[in-house]
Structure 1
Amino acid sequence: MEKKWWHDKVAYQIYPKSFMDTNGDGIGDIRGIINKLDYLKNLGIDIIWISPIYQSPLVDQGYDISDYYKIDERFGTMEDFEELIAEAKKRNIGILMDLVINHCSDQHVWFKKALQDIEGEYGDYFYFRKGKNGQPPCNYRSYFGGSAWEKVKGTDYYYLHLFAKEQPDLNWYNPKVKEELYSMINWWLDKGLAGFRIDAIINIRKDLQFKSLPADGDDGFVHAGVAAEKVPGIGDMLEDLKKNTFEKHDAFTVAEVFNMRKDEIREFIGDNGHFSTMFDFSAECLAFGGHGWYDAPEITFEDYRRVIFHSQRECEDVGFMANIIENHDEPRGASRYIPSYAQNETGKKMLATVNLLLRGIPFIYQGQEIGMTNCPMKGIEEYDDISTINQYNMAVQAGVSKELALKGCYEHSRDNARTPMQWSDGENAGFTNGKPWLKVNPNYKDINVSDQENREDSLLNYYRKLIALRKSDEYRELLTYGITEPIFENEDKIFAYKRVNESGEIVVLANFGKQDKVLELENRKYRVILNNMEDLDMEDGKVKLKSCQSVVLV
């Protein structure tokens, strides 16, 4: 495998609206990120991915961009952003922006011009089609529910939006659109970006005939992702994108890909893949319900372990996945992937151990390193996320009680990850001296950075140790390029594996169970290099793991 500059890096995702507010308006800003760069450097971070800060109406929290060349004034100025790049560079930290190019905002000048002349030049920047018998052109369901087509008032035309109606899809089959987007991408890379996280990119391919497909729900619609999966030719489109932009800058790219075909992994993230890496969403997919959150299955430990190891096997001789516990589109991993009896600092250390030492690029989401959890809301009115509100309404319409619909939101809402970062036990968790744009999780008095900075045994300091272990001169090569070899797969509630290369191995053991567990290793002397508890009962190759104990041995 060809070695790349980013293979041994650790990344951190910032959701800027909720990270750190410096001007008291209740919204996080770029200046807040600058102020916390030393915190991130001390954590061991090499790459920061910042969710969208472009000019936007924020209908979908910045994923509806109205001007790709401007910083939204709520987050700061272009000068602030250029200072951020420069200050990060001084600390050997690269900055990734979010690249949202499947769609833009309905407030973008392109779309406004398109509405003025649907059959003109800018009309072809989007997908306008005439309806059929007073109905939309086909039966695609948007990712946020309902038809993926919105009627243009006073006409027979509809426009396609695979996400919210305020997010019209861009026509990637129009060379002018690609030229505009490539120029914009190169403009940002020339400013010194390290690369991009690329949003919903599979959706750029379309069946231009827009034929209705067999419905997959009682509403008569078919999920937009299903429609995207059925269309060939995405590889040529992505290769063209790479060669005209990322490749020229040796940029790091991480793709959000949910509906890729299984035989395309090497094409996507191999040595000459379309992207540097892509997120491993296999655990997230375990929570997908047949209709929505209200009938989503519970994630079992066995399924979680199985899909993680499956992803590791799939990619071991192909490329690097980006490993996550959570992100801005998911609930908190500490509330999802560990049992209730383990939802404490010890259990969170255990989850971090098995995730951060896997083969791949670790992506830590803001607040994960202190163990932030899902946030209980009193009612649906306390949620802001468009998807959460749609899911709640969908559940109620299906006959689910409001109490159970709200429980589904507590377990699955994206707003769980978007509550303000908990910096201290002071007012508004130290996030702002104004009114926060979204409710602060009430547990900030107990879970915050300030407290954990001052405790040697805290989760925050454990994350620092984990990252330092990955980067140590002694183990960097092994933990970067060594394969993941699962062990004790038949042991109940045990998550264990070896990282192995030609020079040696590291053993990672974790007991997700409620009872102590004795594991028999090869009969040789092992040395403990990390332990989430104070002691370990180990003799003659036998290791006794307490409930929620995780250890790393050499």
Structure 2
Amino acid sequence: MKNKIVLLATAVLALSVLTACQQPAKSSSAAKKTEVSKKVDSSLYRNFYEVFTSSYADSNRDGVGDLKGITQHLDYLNTGNKSSTSDLKVQGLWMTPIFASPSYHGYDVTNYEEINPKFGTMADFENLIAQAKKRGIAVILDMPFNHTATDNIWFQKALSGDKKYEAYYNWSDTAKEGYSLASNGKYYESEFDQSMPDLNLANPEVKKEIAKITKFWLDKGGSGFRLDAVGFYFSNDDKKTTAFTKWLTDTVKKQDAKAYLVGEVFSTASAIDDVYHSGIDSLFDFPNALQSSSSPINSALVLGEGDLFAQQIEAWDQEIHKDSTQAIDAPFLSNHDTDRSATLLSSLPMKKMAAQAYLLLPGNPFIYYGEEVGLTGSGLDQNKRLPMPWDSVGTDMTKADVAVPGATEVATTDGGNVAQQEANPNSLLNWYKKILRIKAKYPEIAKARVKQISVSKTNLSVLNYGKDLTLINNFSATEETHVSLPKAVVGREIADVISVSGKTAQITDGKLVIPPYSTVILKK
């Protein structure tokens, strides 16, 4: 969520990303017990779209994105008409926090059951939910339960000496790392910022408050939650963090069995892996995201290490399902805390190839708003959350937060704004639309377990999805010819080709010809 996590993750991911999933299984003392296999509810599988709420769409021209703006652009995500060719065909929407908060980002909440006035009213939210459901879009809300704002009434009562609310937070009589001095002369835990006091999540009264909040929003029509800063619920205590996440997951599932939960553990593969023991539906797949030069997808695109990409995907898939048989991976390229993928990738063909590589992975992929038009941004958080460029006249366009030195007002895109890319059949936006429409033909892509298949060309990734489907990615800028298909693939025919160059693939006498930057889908 915040810079502290980014610094931690940057330091450790480069060392762990390619090896963590190949480590031996942890001992039973880490609570790794065999689960009874259960069938995952099919309704939990969706293609998601993340909106940074204040940056997406401004309906009232005050410069701030709002709920009405999001509602007005729901048809961009999904019209609800299966035959429509204009929408992205995503079925899930994650909005960054919409609750009362003093900041532009909203992760310091003053009231969890109140809509931030700059975003609109509760009636606006209820209408958004109603319109989203008409289109088959499930809305999940971003819940920062690790901490509140100092303006939160709970913290204000704690400062006034109310013992009940003092126990809502973590205190120290002496100064120490991660703590800030309060007006009552004590120090409160504030791992991210002095304006964000950490909640005491071991307190039963705090748990009651959280259960009340989740029920409130589920009753309002929410379809689940994105859980912020899960890795910091109990700093340096993975066991307590996992136990609390299990309690929260169980609580929400009792309130609504179909609610979807996805958590943020912005850390190493092994740290993410541990929290899957909680039974949470998903955790964001940071090890495979496009956030460092050592990430598998970046190595595949830049170094041609397609075979290692496939190995990592299989290893991660196996590991998370060992920890939770109902795990649903949550792959992504970038989000509001990381440098945008378009900044990291040097060409439009690379952006297109990255899109198909991750959107066709198992689980629920998350598209960060603007990623589909090549929106750029890096460095300062504000520069990763710049206005969505709808058209050339600035319709519904928000204003960037430029209060911080180094913040910019607008980002570049690869191919122009949304309107321009909608009119260009070769645009990145239309490429995203094409990929998701092809994916819809193969539900096993999201649900099946995968197995990597070795071939002679290292720039190719070959993954079997269950028993009948194979996906082959060519991460190279050159065509590969005379690729011998292994026995595990022989007998499958080309069902679809997603080719950046427009060239097709073919199989002749068991030999594959696959175009540059392309994905071939084989099916029995």
Shorter-chain TM range is 0.7 to 0.9
Residue 265 of structure 2 aligns with which residue?
A: 257
Q: Deviations 1:157-213 (Å, cap 9, x if unpaired)?
A: 2110111110000111222111112111111111111110111123222xxxxxxxx
* Inter-partner Cα distance in structure 1 for 2:464 and 2:410: 37
Confirm whether residue 517 of structure 1 aligns to residue 480 of structure 2. yes
Query: SS of 1:45's equivalent?
Result: coil
Residue 233 of structure 1 aligns with which residue?
A: 240
Relative distance call for 1:63 and 1:89 in structure 2 (3 A) is same
Residue 52 of structure 2 aligns with which residue?
A: 15
Q: Aligned to 1:151, which of 178, 181, 195?
A: 181
Residue 329 of structure 2 aligns with which residue?
A: 321
Residue 166 of structure 2 aligns with which residue?
A: 123
CA RMSD of aligned residues (A): 3.0
Query: SS of 2:131's equivalent?
Result: helix
Relative distance call for 1:262 and 1:6 in structure 2 (3 A) is farther
* Inter-partner Cα distance in structure 2 for 1:420 and 1:263: 33
One-letter code of the match for 1:538?
A: Q
* Inter-partner Cα distance in structure 2 for 1:414 and 1:30: 22
Query: SS of 1:6's equivalent?
Result: helix
* Inter-partner Cα distance in structure 1 for 2:296 and 2:319: 25
CA displacement at 1:35 relative to structure 2: 0.4
* Inter-partner Cα distance in structure 1 for 2:511 and 2:359: 25
Contact kept, 8 Å, 1:7 with 1:360, in 2: the verdict is no
Query: SS of 2:265's equivalent?
Result: coil
Residue 72 of structure 2 aligns with which residue?
A: 35
Contact kept, 8 Å, 1:350 with 1:548, in 2: the verdict is yes
Q: Deviations 1:356-400 (Å, cap 9, x if unpaired)?
A: 11111111111122222336xxxxxxxxxxxxxxxxxxxxxxxxx
Q: Aligned to 1:482, which of 441, 445, 448?
A: 448
* Inter-partner Cα distance in structure 2 for 1:483 and 1:497: 10
CA displacement at 1:286 relative to structure 2: 6.6
CA displacement at 1:122 relative to structure 2: 1.7
* Inter-partner Cα distance in structure 2 for 1:287 and 1:435: 29
Residue 350 of structure 1 aligns with which residue?
A: 353
* Inter-partner Cα distance in structure 1 for 2:370 and 2:215: 32
Contact kept, 8 Å, 2:338 with 2:384, in 1: the verdict is yes
Note the 1:22-101 alignment, pairs <5 A.
22-41=59-78, 42-58=87-103, 61-101=105-145
Residue 387 of structure 2 aligns with which residue?
A: 420
* Inter-partner Cα distance in structure 2 for 1:98 and 1:167: 16
Contact kept, 8 Å, 1:11 with 1:49, in 2: the verdict is yes
* Inter-partner Cα distance in structure 1 for 2:329 and 2:298: 21
Query: SS of 1:509's equivalent?
Result: strand
Q: Deviations 1:128-171 (Å, cap 9, x if unpaired)?
A: 1111xxxx23x4xxxxxxxx11112472x211011111000011
* Inter-partner Cα distance in structure 2 for 1:265 and 1:525: 34
Residue 368 of structure 1 aligns with which residue?
A: 371
Relative distance call for 1:263 and 1:417 in structure 2 (3 A) is closer
Relative distance call for 1:15 and 1:154 in structure 2 (3 A) is closer
* Inter-partner Cα distance in structure 2 for 1:92 and 1:171: 37
Q: Percent identity, aligned pairs only?
A: 29
Contact kept, 8 Å, 2:291 with 2:339, in 1: the verdict is no
Residue 460 of structure 2 aligns with which residue?
A: 494
Confirm whether residue 166 of structure 1 aligns to residue 195 of structure 2. yes
One-letter code of the match for 2:204?
A: P
Query: SS of 1:496's equivalent?
Result: strand
Tell me the matched-pair count.
Answer: 457
One-letter code of the match for 1:110?
A: W
Which is worse superposed, 437-446 or 178-187? 437-446
One-letter code of the match for 1:122?
A: Y
* Inter-partner Cα distance in structure 1 for 2:417 and 2:374: 9
Contact kept, 8 Å, 1:536 with 1:543, in 2: the verdict is no
Q: Aligned to 1:549, which of 496, 518, 521?
A: 518
- Structure 2: gaps (5+ residues): 1-37, 79-86, 403-407
Query: SS of 2:205's equivalent?
Result: helix
Contact kept, 8 Å, 2:268 with 2:287, in 1: the verdict is no
CA displacement at 1:94 relative to structure 2: 1.2
CA displacement at 1:266 relative to structure 2: 8.4
Residue 29 of structure 2 aligns with which residue?
A: none
Contact kept, 8 Å, 1:14 with 1:48, in 2: the verdict is yes
Query: SS of 1:527's equivalent?
Result: strand
